[in-house]
Structure 1
Amino acid sequence: MATKVYSSYQEIDRDLEILKLQKEIDTQKLSLSVEKTIDEFTPSGMVQNILGNAGSFLTKSGLLKNVLLPYLINRFLK
């Protein structure tokens, strides 16, 4: 990293304030990440994750539109 040359204490204070705010932001991001990770390892979080992945697979693969939807429509129309 290049050495920065400051011409006043105001510049130093400004950079210190920026670094302090960046540290606070990073701390909050880490805290939220830890909370999300803990939530994903609860039983309800695991079920939601599995259902979300299954739903994503069904919609991306076209299985829902091409197979399941016509089947369900035919079932209800009978």
Structure 2
Amino acid sequence: MGTRKYSSYEQIDRELEILKIEKEISLQKVRLEFQGIKENLEPKNIVRGIVGSYVPSFPGKYGQIISIALPFITKWLFKKRGF
């Protein structure tokens, strides 16, 4: 961004307001990304990711049964462990 010339204080104020809004949008994006990372690093989501990647390798009804039972099993395990 090069040097800009302004002909009035209104232009300067408008530019500052735009920059302020852009800064707030960037901060909100960072917060949202951080929240997503934080959720992905929760133990239950890590287990779901690991086990969920193996479920498609089970043929037919076994894969369906595992994919249905998996949320209940992980919830039970994490309650028992205190996560």
For Structure 1 versus Structure 2, the TM-score category normalised by the shorter chain is: 0.5 to 0.7
Q: Is the 8 A contact 1:40 1:49 kept in 2?
A: no
Number of matched residues? Answer: 59
TM-score norm. by structure 2 comes to 0.59
Matched, 1:22 2:25: no
Amino acid at match of 2:20: K
Higher relative contact order (CA 8 A, sep 6+): 2
The alpha-carbon deviation at position 47 of structure 1 amounts to 3.0
Q: Secondary structure of the equivalent of 1:7? A: coil
- Runs of 5+ consecutive residues of structure 2 not aligned to the other structure: 62-83
| CA drift at 1:41 | 0.5
Cα distance in 2, alignment partners of residues 35 and 41 from structure 1 = 10
> Based on CA coordinates, which of the two structures has the bigger radius of gyration?
1
TM-score by length of 1: 0.62
The 5 Å alignment of 1:1-78 reads: 1-50=1-50, 51=52, 54=53, 68=59, 72=60
Query: Which amino acid in the other structure matches residue 7 of structure 2?
Result: S
Deviation (angstroms), 1:30: 0.5
Which residue of structure 2 lines up, in the alignment, with residue 76 of structure 1? Answer: none
Kindly state the Cα deviation for residue 49 of structure 1 after the two structures are TM-superposed. Answer: 3.3
Q: Superposition RMSD on alpha carbons, in Å?
A: 2.2
Which runs of structure 1 show a deviation greater than 2 angstroms over 4 or more consecutive aligned residues? 47-51
Stretches of structure 1 that go unaligned for 5 or more consecutive residues are 74-78
